[in-house]
Structure 1
Amino acid sequence: MKTFLLTLLMGGAMACLSQTTGSVGMGIALPPVALVDVEPPGNISMEFLAPVQAGLPITPPRANGSKWLNYTSAVSPAGNSRSISVSISQTLEGVELSLLTGTAVQGRGVLGIPSGQVVLGTTPVVILSGIRGASTGNGANSGHQLLFTISSSDYSVLRKLPATSIIINFTILE
């Protein structure tokens, strides 16, 4: 009887010390993401200044760096890097609109590489390339500063223009 009791007690002690594990499967999905935004909201106004004395040239407006380009990107593992291009809705004869995209001031991941200063036209031109999984942050002073300049490209075709609106389109592409 003593042997049986001792065996029973040891078996119970072993059951208390044994470990069991459990597992559960988990599916994780991250869809491709491609978002682009210009901050802060609102339009830019740029005006040429008339000279104050005959013979002097028209003064182009000062460069405007009030806008910031923000984006978020998640590409598939086999996916290509992304780029951001820009185009304008119309060109104005004798007027050249240029854009210089700055290096990102903050962000995470593989951010875009600026292309340098580009002349804007109705055909899209790449301003950032090499974007992969990235997030620039949101709002002014986040992402890439956009510096717009306007100059007169050909005085022989300059004409008085009423206030003209141009739409600037930014597109993120894979």
Structure 2
Amino acid sequence: MFFSLLSSVSLAQSDKAEHKINVTIPEVALLGLVSETDKAVSMQPLMATEAGEAVVLNEISNSRIWINYSSIISEATPSRKVVAVIQGELPEGLTLKVAASAFTGSGKGKLGTPAGLVTLSDQPTDVIVDIGSCYTGKGINNGHYLTYQLEKEDDENAYAMLSAQNTAVNVVYTLTDYR
């Protein structure tokens, strides 16, 4: 009986099959701007109220435009950043600055670090740096909000260059790779 049990166990067969699963995670670099109201920012100096006073140009607008982004980096591209450029001409004698807030919201991952208050120009300027694989969350109250400042240039003749006018410029943000 022992031998018959042993022989039936040894006659039992084992069968297995396998296949390979390839996992591909693509690089992702998406950026969007969202606003609580309108994406257009109006900047108008505080007018002088008494003779002899200057027009107040600093901290004209605290806009609540939010930058949202999604990023998956590769080994070849270990980090990303958000840069901004101005398209168009500011009135002579003025500079436009922007600061991104620290991240807030529902995002996860290696979120970027604000570069501080930076002066914008027609050349790319870092606004948020050191972005890894992450997402900020979607919509307002997620990501980094932007605060703009319009300032008189440091040149002693900058105020003399001011003239009454309406000017529109575009600020273009790009999520880009860097090492």
Selected match of 1:53 from 42, 50, 54: 50
Selected match of 1:44 from 16, 41, 46: 41
Residue identity opposite 2:116 in structure 1: G
Selected match of 2:85 from 82, 87, 90: 87
- Larger Rg, first or second structure (1 or 2): 1
Match of 1:103 in 2: 102
Q: State the Cα deviation string for residues 135-166 of structure 1 (Å, max 9, x = none).
A: 1111111011111111222201111112x211
Q: Structure 2: which 5+ runs fail to align?
A: none
The answer on 1:25 being equivalent to 2:20 is yes
Q: Distance in 1 between matches of 2:173 and 2:7?
A: 75
**CA drift at 1:49:** 3.0
Q: Secondary structure at the match of 1:148?
A: strand
Q: Distance in 2 between matches of 1:170 and 1:14?
A: 70
Q: State the Cα deviation string for residues 20-76 of structure 1 (Å, max 9, x = none).
A: 543221111121111111112621112123212211111236331311111111111
**CA drift at 1:10:** 6.7
Question: Percent of counterpart pairs with the same letter?
Answer: 28
- Normalising by structure 1, report the TM-score: 0.84
Residue identity opposite 2:28 in structure 1: V
Give the superposed CA RMSD. 2.4
Residue identity opposite 1:26 in structure 2: I
Q: Which runs of 4+ in 1 moved over 6 A?
A: none
**CA drift at 1:14:** 7.3
Q: Secondary structure at the match of 1:7?
A: helix
- Normalising by structure 2, report the TM-score: 0.82
How many residue pairs get aligned? The number is: 168
Match of 1:147 in 2: 147
Match of 1:34 in 2: 29
Match of 2:72 in 1: 74
